[in-house]
Amino acid sequence: MINGNTTITTKGIMRFILCIFYISVLSGCQSFIAYQITQPVEEISYGGPDDPMLNTVYEGIPHKTCNTMHNCIAVRIFSHNDLIEYFEQGEQFGITFQLKSKGEMETFETTLTSINGAKQKNDSAIILFPGYGVSSLIYSFQARWLSHFTGKDVILMPASNQYSEFKFGLNSLDVLKHYLNTNQYQQIDILSSSMGSIAAMQLAKQMPNVKQQIMVAPMVHFDTALMSVAKSYHPTLSYFIKDNDFKNAAKNVIQNSAIDETQLDLIALLNGKQSANRTTLYVSNADPISPASYWQALQNKSVSIVHYSNLDHTRMVSLINQAMRNEVLHRLM
């Protein structure tokens, strides 16, 4: 059996907020914070042997799609059919990653074989919108796992900080819609995490064949999320930074993105949601980025809220909790 392994720590979730060391050489702390948030990051690839089979299994198939000559998007597609050739050769594949959080090590582990997968569903797709800052390899593992056990194509979108321009992941929805329509997917499910829920919400509004959307720890107000991340993962450094610096940095990022700011207000959008597709939110009381208490103001019977206790933000978006992971999989089958 071949395994793909990785280890993620919560301290590596985001790479901004070193402001206190740079404040003397920059125009201001808020400028540095805004700069760090919006810088594109490189893809994190599978760290095993350079083997076409393993690249297919753990990274999916890179695919560039366009709706005009200059309007394109690079996604990765995970299909049930990708592995048929290898299964016929007797191969099986292990997916394992470990998450270290507050001194505890937790494991996401599964095995893909020729007999435990679902049958291919050619007319169905799952769109996976990642959160900001978590290793893209984690979402690759999730995509392969979902494709194998649901039989659906999984289209892994870039995270919001993997585009050349930072627009909260809203950059290429028209291209994505063109791709989905061209490939005649009849049923679409959307799974999003954290900031990825911003783009997911807009896609669900615009595609009539979206069956359901699942939001895991969806981002609350951007400035609040920014401060929560800083204070949770960089408490010493954030002690020296004023709350107004975070708020002003958030305003700068939103203004520079040139998006409609109402697209960031998920609770207002969900309260006004009238479409037929089902929406399920997974939240936790221990998640400062998407606190369960915040979503109590949601008043829409078509939106279900599922609460898991004592899971921080990284543990939520990585689906490291087995009970929650199995529940999400069951909904997507």
Could you read off the pLDDT of 15-57 as tens digits, one per residue?
433 443 333 333 456 665 666 667 776 665 556 656 777 788 8
* Beta carbons within 8 Å of 84's beta carbon, 6+ residues apart: none
- Residue-wise pLDDT tens digits, 60-106: 999 999 999 889 999 999 998 899 989 999 999 999 988 887 778 89
Please provide the DSSP assignment of 145-176 as one string: HHHHHH-SEEEEPPPGGGSSS-STT-TTHHHH
CA gap 329, 172 in Å, rounded: 27
C-beta separation of 286 from 311 below 8 A: yes
Element at 128 (helix H, strand E):
strand 124-129
How confident is the model at residue 99, as a pLDDT? 87
- Domain CATH code at residue 26: 3.40.50.1820
Residue 60 backbone zone (phi > 0: left; psi -120 to 50: alpha; other: beta): left
CA gap 284, 308 in Å, rounded: 5
- Which residue do the tokens 């900031």 mark? 195
Nearest by Cα to 140 from 186, 176, 93:
93
Pairing of strands 72-78, 61-66: antiparallel
How confident is the model at residue 237, as a pLDDT? 66
CA gap 218, 293 in Å, rounded: 13
Q: Report long-range pairs for 110-117 (Cβ below 8 Å, ≥24 apart).
A: 110/145, 111/1, 112/57, 112/83, 112/144, 112/145, 112/148, 113/87, 114/87, 114/88, 116/148, 116/149, 117/80, 117/83, 117/148, 117/149, 117/151
C-beta separation of 203 from 176 below 8 A: yes
Instruction: Return the percent helix, strand and coil in the chain, to nearest 5.
Output: 40, 25, 35
Q: Report how far Cα 289 is from the mean position of its chain's Cα atoms.
A: 14
C-beta separation of 190 from 124 below 8 A: no
Q: What does the pLDDT average to over 250-258?
A: 90
C-beta separation of 194 from 289 below 8 A: yes
**What's the Cα-to-Cα distance from 262 to each of 149, 160, 171, 186, rounded to whole Å?**
36, 17, 16, 29
How confident is the model at residue 15, as a pLDDT? 41
State the residue range of the domain holding 86.
Answer: 2-332
C-beta separation of 257 from 34 below 8 A: no
CA gap 153, 287 in Å, rounded: 30
- Residue-wise pLDDT tens digits, 210-253: 999 999 999 988 888 888 777 776 677 677 777 888 888 889 88
CA gap 283, 293 in Å, rounded: 9
CA gap 196, 128 in Å, rounded: 8
CA gap 48, 51 in Å, rounded: 8
- Residue-wise pLDDT tens digits, 178-203: 999 999 999 999 999 999 999 999 99
Provide the domain count of the chain: 1
